[in-house]
Chains A and B, each alone.
Chain A
Amino acid sequence: MSRARLERVGLTLPLLPTSTVGSFPKLDYVLEARAKFARKEMTRKELDALERQATEFWIEQQEEIGLDVLVDGEQYRGDMVAYFADIMDGFEMGGLVRSYGNRYYHKPIIVGKVKRPGPITVTWWKFAQGLTSKPVKGMLTGPYTIMDWSFNDYYPDRKAACFALATEIRKEVESLVEAGAKIVQIDEPALSVRPEELHFALEAMHIVTDGIPAYFIMHICYGAFEFIYPKMLDLPVDNFDLEMSNSGLDLISLFEKDPFTKDLSFGVLDVHSHVIETPTIVRERIEKALQVIQPEALWVDPDCGLKTRAVEEAQGKLRSMVAAVRELRETGISR
């Protein structure tokens, strides 16, 4: 199913395509520039130039490491929800809310009808794709997660807010595909948190993806999958990108009970650990995945975005991942 879908959108990828989840560590000069911009000591144009320079760096890195499907590295994004809320109409930035310990974030508030004022990520996608002949994924936060991680002063309930956001996110998907994106990833880390709402999250995803000629990946992480599996397989996407390594690969037992019927991007790198996995460890993890997933349906990537790691750690982890996949491709992949 999936390979045919990839071919229909004009992509031929090797077995076990390698990719990443979206974000890479921000380079020091980008961090410094973003702080200066926040203090109004730098113009938007100056910041943009540095973020573009950092994007070029990460595209080069991904090519050099040998990944098959690339990302722009999100050097220009802060929080994955606030980035979209900042740009879309209908939001205002709320005060600080604690996420844990001494960490706080500004939580957006929906105060009016949400509306995409125009393409949000397309310029960055075009820029990144212009730097490489390999496919670059379009990267969006999903409507359920934007809704769940925002306050809602405007819509009558969570479902209504989610559907309104889905309509706007669909427009962004259409813009990305029109610009040439063949693979679009929708990040929905909040999806597994309220299993009783999966039914409308599913409807929302139909709004986002139905009838659009692209290969869709949905990234979900750090949730209680046992409560939404196998129902989540009904979500209208081609590939689920799941965090596996941080949770000791325990999802595999779920797949043994109820077969996984979509493509799977299998997280083989723990992004919360400083330890750089060896190619042998990565290979063992992939071999475990192959016990429950057909090789044609398996992609290989980290558990989540690598933005919390140091640059060298991210590079080291990805090199191990690519080395393990190459070894498997050379020695033959068997179940």
Chain B
Amino acid sequence: MELCLANHSSYPRVGASREQQRLRRAYAQRERGEISPEAFNQVQDSLVAEVIEEQAHAGCELVTDGQIRWYDSISHVAGKLAHVEINGLLRYFDTNFYFRQPVITANVEWREPLVVEEFRYAKRTSVRSVKPVLTGPYTLAIASIRQTPVYGDFSTLVMDLSAVLAREVNALATAGAEVIQVEEPAILQHPQDLPLLQQALTALSEARGSARLALYTYFGDAAPVYEALQELPVQILGFDFTYAPKLPDKIATVGSQKSLGLGLIDGRNTRMETAKDVFPLLEKVLPHVPGEIVYLNPSCGLEYLPRDKAVAKLRLMKELKEAFLQERKG
């Protein structure tokens, strides 16, 4: 079995040096009308290339574009749909990060590509395989304000978003994505809606072509709903172990029919994990995961960390993997 080092999703877009703060300056210049859209895009492009290279250099075998162009994980996706307006700030789960809340005013419809063009650029730039990331239909719906009688029924909105996202999944698969990550952190707070999520993911699954769908949850304990998550029409399940102390035992007891993304490295805290923290969990979980690949990744997007700590966490994953394999061999 291969232990594949993967980034999760987001990556810090500024660092300590002046050069690493160029996107921040470009945003300010854009607000003041001092930079053309083309020049602003060039700054974004160069930073995407830089963070992809940084991930690869740190040892990541599956990288992301760092979501460098995203305002946040909700409005970046929802804001591109027809009949969605973007409203004020709201706290993103239990973090100290704020997203802009979508307001749905009529039937949501596809209007333009959501992330496929970003994926194409990242793929061209990267020497490693690139994983595109989409926020899932359920989490998008939960985060939105419904201001239309069309969506008096919440599940109708989830299913309409599912149809729109399925189109994007298909575009990503056609563009060459091997793994497509769909993020559904909100489902852990609303486990009663798992049947709805199952229904919503069916369209995405049908659209995936030869790509593998990875459903990632985080900021919550997946152990109580682990069996239900195993029933979802995806090929990979990604978990945030920092919230789920009983999850390794659960996996060892129940087993897994799917490949797993093991979020054993805390993407929310600067403390560096040790072999003592990570190896027992790997030993417990790995024998129960089928297939050829298991992903070792941070517990969530790395944007909650400063840039120097984020790259240090990726390097740490590589060191831990090498030491773990060495120990097994020995």
**Same assembly:** yes
Q: Which residues of A contact B (CB under 8 A)?
A: 94-102, 104, 107, 109, 148-149, 151-153, 190, 193-194, 222-223
Kindly specify which of B123-131, B176-184, B304-312, B317-325 makes contact with the partner chain. Answer: B304-312
Tell me which of B14, B94, B98, B269 contacts A99 (CB under 8 A): B98
Q: Would you give the shortest CB distance from A114 to chain B, in whole angstroms?
A: 15
Q: List 6 A-B contacts (CB under 8 A).
A: A95-B308, A96-B307, A99-B98, A101-B27, A152-B269, A152-B271
Given contacts A151-B309, A153-B272, 17 further A-B contacts (CB under 8 A): A94-B309, A95-B12, A95-B15, A95-B16, A96-B12, A101-B71, A102-B24, A102-B28, A102-B31, A104-B24, A148-B96, A151-B270, A151-B271, A152-B270, A153-B269, A153-B271, A222-B91
B89 adjacent to chain A (CB < 8 Å): yes
Residues of A contacting B98 in the complex (Cβ-Cβ under 8 angstroms): 99-100
CB <8 Å contact, B91 and A95: no
**Across the interface, do A98 and B306 meet the contact criterion of CB distance under 8 Å?**
no
Task: Give Cα A222 to B92, complex, Å.
Answer: 12
Determine whether B72 belongs to the interface, using a CB cutoff of 8 Å to chain A: yes
Question: Which listed residue (A107, A153, A222) contacts B306, Cβ 8 A?
Answer: A107
Q: Which 4 A-B pairs have the closest CB atoms?
A: A95-B306, A100-B98, A102-B27, A151-B270
Task: Collect the chain A residues with CB atoms within 8 Å of residue B306's CB.
Answer: 94-97, 107
CB distance from B218 to the nearest CB of A (A): 14
**Is there contact, CB below 8 Å, between A98 and B307?**
no
> Which residue of chain A has the shortest Cβ distance to B305 in the bound complex?
A97
Q: Is B97 an interface residue (CB 8 A)?
A: yes
Asked if A194 and B307 make an inter-chain contact with CB atoms under 8 angstroms apart, the answer reads no
B32: shortest Cβ distance to chain A, in Å? 12
Task: Kindly state the separation between the CA atoms of A104 and B307 in the bound complex, as whole angstroms.
Answer: 12
Contact between B270 and A193, CB atoms less than 8 A apart: no
Interface residues of B (CB under 8 A from A): 12-16, 24, 27-28, 31, 71-72, 89, 91, 94, 96-100, 269-272, 303-309
- Interface of A, helix, strand, loop or mixed by DSSP: strand
Complex: chain B residue closest to A145, CB-CB? B96
A97 and B304 contact, CB distance less than 8 A? yes
Q: Which chain A residue lies CB-closest to B71?
A: A101
Q: Which residues of B contact A102 (CB under 8 A)?
A: 24, 27-28, 31
Closest A residue to B25 using CB positions: A102
Contact check: which of A98, A153, A194, A223 meets B12 at CB < 8 Å? A98
> Are A100 and B14 in contact (CB-based, < 8 A)?
no
Kindly report which residue of chain B lies nearest to residue A149, judged by CB atoms: B96
- Expressed in whole angstroms, the Cα–Cα distance for A227 and B298 within the complex equals 28
* Residues in chain B near residue A95, CB distance under 8 A: 12, 15-16, 306-309
* Contact, CB under 8 Å: A153 / B28: no
Write out the residue numbers on chain A whose beta carbons fall within 8 Å of the beta carbon of B91: 193, 222-223
Q: Contacting A193 at CB < 8 Å: which of B89, B94, B100?
A: B94
Least CB separation from B14: chain A residue: A96
Q: Determine the residue in chain A with the shortest Cβ distance to B99.
A: A100
CA distance A98 to B98 in the complex (A): 9
A100 to B27, CA, bound (A): 13
Chain A residues with CB under 8 Å of B308's CB are 95
Query: Among the listed A104, A153, A223, which residue makes an inter-chain contact with B270, where contact means beta carbons less than 8 Å apart?
Result: A153
A101, A148, A193 — which one has the most chain B CB atoms within 10 A of its CB? A101
Known: A99-B97, A101-B71, A104-B24. A151 touches B269 (CB 8 A): yes
Q: Which residues of A contact B272 (CB under 8 A)?
A: 153
Give every chain A residue within 8 A of B89 (Cβ-Cβ). Answer: 100
- Chain A residues with CB under 8 A of B15: 95-96
* Residues of chain B contacted by A99 (CB below 8 angstroms): 96-98
What residue of chain A has the Cβ atom nearest to residue B23's Cβ? A102
> B230 to nearest A CB, angstroms?
24
Q: How far is the CB of B143 from chain A (nearest CB, A)?
A: 14
A149 neighbours in B (Cβ, 8 Å): 96
Contacts of A98 in B (CB 8 A): 12-14, 97, 303
Residues of B contacting A96 in the complex (Cβ-Cβ under 8 angstroms): 12, 14-16, 306-307
- Residues on A with C-beta less than 8 A from B99 are 100
When chains A and B are docked, how far (Å) is the Cα of A96 from the Cα of B306? Answer: 5
Q: In whole angstroms, how far apart are the Cα atoms of A100 and B305 in the complex?
A: 14
A193 to B92, CA, bound (A): 10
Query: How close is A71's CB to chain B, nearest CB, in angstroms?
Result: 24
Query: What's the nearest-Cβ distance from chain B to residue A287, in Å?
Result: 27
A residues less than 8 Å from B305 (CB atoms):
97, 151
Say yes or no: A100 contacts B97, CB within 8 Å: yes
A104's closest neighbor in chain B, by CB?
A: B14
A190 CA / B89 CA spacing, docked (Å): 16
How far does the Cβ of A31 sit from chain B's closest Cβ, in whole Å?
17
Which residues of B have CB within 8 Å of A222? 91
Residues of A within 8 A of B96 (CB): 99, 148-149, 190
Shortest CB–CB separation between residue B270 and chain A, in angstroms? 4
Residues in chain A near residue B97, CB distance under 8 A: 98-100
- How far, in angstroms, from A151 to B310 measured CA to CA in the complex? 13
The chain A residue sitting closest to B93, CB to CB, is A193
**Contact A194-B270, Cβ < 8 Å, known A95-B309, A96-B14:** no
Q: In the complex, how many angstroms separate the beta carbon of A308 from the nearest chain B beta carbon?
A: 12
Q: How far is the CB of B316 from the nearest CB of chain A, in Å?
A: 13
Instruction: Flag if B14 contacts A94 (CB, 8 Å).
Output: no
A190 to B31, CA, bound (A): 30
Contact yes or no, B27 A97, CB < 8 A: no
B residues less than 8 Å from A151 (CB atoms): 269-271, 305, 309
Closest to A101 in B: B71
Residues of A within 8 A of B307 (CB): 95-96
Give complex CA distance A74, B66 in Å: 37
Question: In the complex, A151→B304 CA distance in Å?
Answer: 10
Question: A214: shortest Cβ distance to chain B, in Å?
Answer: 29
Q: When chains A and B are docked, how far (Å) is the Cα of A46 from the Cα of B308?
A: 34
Q: Which residues of A contact B12 (CB under 8 A)?
A: 95-98
